[in-house]
Structure 1
Amino acid sequence: MNQEGTTVQTSEAADARGPAGMAGLPSGERLNRGGLSWALFQGGRDPFIILVTIYIFMPYVASTLVGDPVRGQEVISRWDQYIGWTVMLTAPFLGASIDKLGPRKGWLALTVGLMVPAIAALWFARPGGPLPLTAVLLLGFFARVLYVYSEVLHNSLLVRAAGLAGAHRASGLALSLANLFSVVALAFTAWAFALPGKVDWAFVPDAPLFGLDPDAHEPERVVTLMAAALMLLGAIPLFLFTPDAPPTGVPVLRAFREGAGELWRMVRTVGRFKDAAVYLVSRMFFVDGMNGVLIYAGVFAVGVMKWGPLEMLAYGILLSVFAVLGGYVARWLDGALGPKTALKIEIAAAMLGLLAVLGMAPDRILFFWPHDAAAHGPMWDGPVFRTLPDWFYVGAGFVCAVFITAQYASSRTLLTRLAPPEQTGAFFGVYALSGVATAWLAPTLVSLGTALTRTQQGGLATLLVLLAAGLAGLFFVRGGGRIVR
């Protein structure tokens, strides 16, 4: 389960409107090696979010390096504010300037070249190790911001790589590969490092591979090396085979200056269409709430449910698989009810899922149902999820995963119904901007809620405010209903 790409980019479509822009672009619907390489890059890049940000490494930082999950959630969300502010102030201008900069692969190589060692250096984040906590968080900040820049640059090469006819295939393949590689990486980590010594299964090694020491938290830290290696390997085919944009002759500073003007013109264009404008403002709130649920899911589960690395690996695998259903749910709801009603249902369902998560604890189910694990005994003899609260928590996570994924799909569909066909470029530019304009808001609320209540539940509950605000805004949007054939 990945975060939706929420960076601002002006795609090659603008460059490809006329015959000159189309020259040299792939013309068939079947992907060539340039398109396949473009998709492979995302497959290698996105496991960083799954392995490092959501499920394994940052929960380890919160629980072990900070030493207190509540304080850890507060610290991590405060640094996420810094990431959000930086992205908000820089990524839109990079996206709006991208077509004027000309070739992108050099910029992308610089971004990847800085990201890979930053991620790999997190391996040294251990108690009493050479990296103090501030250095660990600074490396994470650096890598996350660069990740967003890599999204902008990578997405801008889509039409160049696959052509207009094959763009949707390359995009779908990239998302599929990202999910596949993430699940495989989680499964490998569980098999090679977390399960050995804990189960007597014939296919599991007797001890963690490569001599990793669980007492030194090396199974949790090794995911940083895996994420760095996958990113590097996934980037190589793109640099070898994916076509780059031609030079424009525009100096860098001028490109950014003109890009800022283009960004302002896009915002003004959308502002003339009330329903689309109201929708995009609403989306700023609910998409930030959705992203917050994803980002803090791991930290919350480690602190509240007392799960260890093995449980988090299993949880990540299950949710990544079930999130795929979200695309099918969105397609069915969009067709049956229209994307606006579908989006309302998806946000409301995600709120219910989040509410259920908040009501869980090892000794409590859904706020009011006490559970005595000693009196009931384990539900099965497996290595993870042995109690009823564990399974209720997993079920609430499934609800969130499915409907958050569905929301990302329905959001795009709704904009296509509200935007004038001749101005979709400007509208999708502002659509992407709306995903980063408030990227700091969810971390700010989570940090504030955690600090004020001194509980992780109090921090995560603030995300309900963002989801509710976004849902309320949709009731003021006209259009986006079901198409009657």
Structure 2
Amino acid sequence: MKDSLAQKTVSRGADFKGRFGWMMFDWAAQPYFTLILTFIFAPYFTNHFMADGVQGQAAWSFTQTAAGLILAIMAPILGSIADRTGPRKPWIMVFAVVYIIGTSLLWFAAPGAENMISLVVVAIILAAVGIEFAGVFNNAMLPSVALPGKMGKLSGFGWALGYVGGLITLVIVLGLLSASKETGLTMLGLAPVLGFDPNLYEADRFVGPLAAIWFVIFVIPMFLFTPDEVPSEIKKAKVVDSAIAGLKDTGVLLAGLLGRPNILKFFVARMVYYDGLSALFAFGGIYASFVFNWTITTLGIFGIILSVAAALGAYVGGWCDDWFGPKKTIIVALVGLIVSALGILSVDGQSALWMIDLPQDTGETGLFATLGEKIILIFGIGIGLFAGPAQAASRTMLVKIIPEGETTKYFGLFALSGKATAFLAPLLIGILTLAFDDQRMSLVTIIGFLVVGIVVFLSVKEERE
């Protein structure tokens, strides 16, 4: 009877404030992915904090590998503890603290500060683990928050809202905090409001504390307004017992997937293409920065343009998800990502698209002045447009194919499929970058993961098993 009542509660969804609060988590969290992982801090770490670009990319890849291993090991255990001992918000709070500590410590990544390398590496791992686990528990609330038949729209709108949040933080950094080395002024022609020295890359480093402050402020609506479900019959379970049960349940559920081949193929496909997509975010900006030696201003404007495209893509993708179904949405998005990544890979400073020779020493100045930069910008916009739909539609695809009444445990596997091999793409990128002494290995690896992912996904049926 209690289970039946819970199902009815879930089916009604949350009120507007509850749904808005849930989406605000994406708004609060996105600066990590925009400022730290993609456009500002990662390129700074790779090309300026570390001794050289190749060694820097390898070091960054290994920090992501370590974070991915932690996520893979702990995701099923923590998921079971949360399901069995109470609501999810306390877990979001715990990992929010981990995230805030990690991002705040990034300030100490001063150029040439070799004594700080260990601290900064630990901080990067803490930030990644904190925000990813907080996101896992926030995602797990989606089925109970969304209105009937509107899960795709809510998921897509959440991604879109997040991209807008990331866009605004980029504008803050470029317009108010980051000054040009030549003029001493920001993109808006102002003196940096906090007096940051561009020669010490202080604005690049401050994006860590800024992301922490942003999260603290804007995650509040989720804690205040979004309802949090509590498993009624087992909410008093002990943590250790729940962890052991979680491992057993995960093993049983994984074994049971052999009898549900459609769901198994989806998880395998999603695991592979999500690894590629995550690596694309982590290393795309690093590669573009390396090829053309972009400054923080150019990187930031590149990020603003891509964030606008990503917000638009996620918004439209949410509608497409409900209109055409998540499978078609995911396929189109993955094809678009592969084409875009190939386009960026084709630009190496000497040629583009493997057939166009790029003019050298033309004396052109300004933003995206050269032909090669324009080509990277065009394909970068493609990545922005297709990234959001690929991520958001994956959440609703799962709901379409799993048995009714088993949403929670399959969302646990969904989280695991996104984390179980999250270390693999960064690890391969690090190994291949060092082996070939070539930063293009990052994009080669990413494209390989996306291609394998879509090949497996094509055989997945959009029907309940």
Secondary structure of the 1:249 match is coil
**Percent of aligned pairs with the same amino acid:** 26
Distance in 2 (CA, whole Å) between partners of 1:86 and 1:113 is: 17
Secondary structure of the 2:188 match is coil
Shift of 1:95: 1.7
Corresponding position: 1:118 with 2:118? no
Q: Which residue of 1 aligns with 2:128?
A: 144
The alpha-carbon distance between structure 1 residues 389 and 172, as it changes in their structure 2 partners (threshold 3 A), is closer
Kept in 2, the 8 Å contact 1:44–1:230? The answer is: yes
State how 1:460-471 maps to structure 2 within 5 Å.
Answer: 460-471=443-454
The residue type equivalent to 1:40 in the other structure is M
Distance in 1 (CA, whole Å) between partners of 2:216 and 2:450 is: 36
Residue by residue over 1:373-411, the C-alpha shift from the partner in whole angstroms, topping out at 9 and shown as x without a partner, is: 434x53xx6x42111111100111122222333322444
Range with bigger deviation, 91-100 or 59-68: 91-100
Secondary structure of the 1:212 match is coil
Q: Which residue of 1 aligns with 2:214?
A: 230
Distance in 1 (CA, whole Å) between partners of 2:462 and 2:146 is: 30
Secondary structure of the 1:134 match is helix
Kept in 2, the 8 Å contact 1:125–1:131? The answer is: no
Distance in 2 (CA, whole Å) between partners of 1:53 and 1:324 is: 17
Kept in 1, the 8 Å contact 2:313–2:386? The answer is: yes
State how 1:326-337 maps to structure 2 within 5 Å.
Answer: 326-327=313-314, 328=316, 332=320
Range with bigger deviation, 67-76 or 192-201: 192-201
State how 1:326-365 maps to structure 2 within 5 Å.
Answer: 326-327=313-314, 328=316, 332=320, 340=327, 343-365=330-352
Distance in 1 (CA, whole Å) between partners of 2:460 and 2:223 is: 45
Corresponding position: 1:134 with 2:118? yes
Secondary structure of the 1:361 match is coil
Corresponding position: 1:55 with 2:39? yes
TM-score norm. by structure 1 comes to: 0.84
1:310 to 286, 297, 310: 297
Secondary structure of the 1:77 match is helix
Distance in 1 (CA, whole Å) between partners of 2:64 and 2:345 is: 21
1:177 to 144, 161, 167: 161
Q: Which residue of 2 aligns with 1:18?
A: 4
1:277 to 260, 264, 268: 264
Range with bigger deviation, 400-409 or 317-326: 400-409
Q: Which residue of 2 aligns with 1:264?
A: 251
Distance in 2 (CA, whole Å) between partners of 1:428 and 1:67 is: 42
The residue type equivalent to 1:225 in the other structure is P
Range with bigger deviation, 415-424 or 136-145: 415-424
The alpha-carbon distance between structure 1 residues 127 and 401, as it changes in their structure 2 partners (threshold 3 A), is same
Range with bigger deviation, 215-224 or 411-420: 411-420
Secondary structure of the 1:259 match is helix
Residue by residue over 1:207-265, the C-alpha shift from the partner in whole angstroms, topping out at 9 and shown as x without a partner, is: 22221111111121121121010011123344445455558211111122222232223
Structure 1 gap ranges (5+): 1-14
Kept in 2, the 8 Å contact 1:98–1:156? The answer is: no
Q: Which residue of 2 aligns with 1:455?
A: 438
Shift of 1:168: 6.7
The residue type equivalent to 1:19 in the other structure is L
Residue by residue over 1:30-71, the C-alpha shift from the partner in whole angstroms, topping out at 9 and shown as x without a partner, is: 413x54334333321221121111110111011111131111
Secondary structure of the 1:46 match is helix
Distance in 1 (CA, whole Å) between partners of 2:329 and 2:460 is: 14
Residue by residue over 1:98-141, the C-alpha shift from the partner in whole angstroms, topping out at 9 and shown as x without a partner, is: 22121444333332223213211211210244852121111110
2:386 to 393, 396, 403: 403
The alpha-carbon distance between structure 1 residues 356 and 258, as it changes in their structure 2 partners (threshold 3 A), is same
Distance in 1 (CA, whole Å) between partners of 2:146 and 2:34 is: 26
Shift of 1:164: 6.9
Kept in 2, the 8 Å contact 1:63–1:303? The answer is: yes
The alpha-carbon distance between structure 1 residues 77 and 470, as it changes in their structure 2 partners (threshold 3 A), is same
Secondary structure of the 1:127 match is coil
Kept in 1, the 8 Å contact 2:42–2:286? The answer is: yes
1:299 to 260, 264, 286: 286
The residue type equivalent to 1:312 in the other structure is L
1:76 to 20, 44, 60: 60
Kept in 1, the 8 Å contact 2:176–2:186? The answer is: no
1:370 to 340, 349, 357: 357
Secondary structure of the 1:261 match is helix
Structure 2 gap ranges (5+): none
The residue type equivalent to 1:448 in the other structure is I
The residue type equivalent to 2:346 in the other structure is G
Kept in 1, the 8 Å contact 2:101–2:127? The answer is: no
Distance in 2 (CA, whole Å) between partners of 1:68 and 1:16 is: 60
Distance in 2 (CA, whole Å) between partners of 1:202 and 1:90 is: 42
TM-score norm. by structure 2 comes to: 0.87
The residue type equivalent to 1:96 in the other structure is S
The alpha-carbon distance between structure 1 residues 96 and 298, as it changes in their structure 2 partners (threshold 3 A), is same
The alpha-carbon distance between structure 1 residues 277 and 238, as it changes in their structure 2 partners (threshold 3 A), is closer
Distance in 2 (CA, whole Å) between partners of 1:307 and 1:203 is: 14
1:214 to 174, 181, 198: 198
Shift of 1:280: 2.1
The alpha-carbon distance between structure 1 residues 133 and 324, as it changes in their structure 2 partners (threshold 3 A), is same
Distance in 2 (CA, whole Å) between partners of 1:419 and 1:157 is: 17
Shift of 1:22: 6.1
* Matched residue count: 459
Shift of 1:310: 0.7
Kept in 2, the 8 Å contact 1:28–1:165? The answer is: no
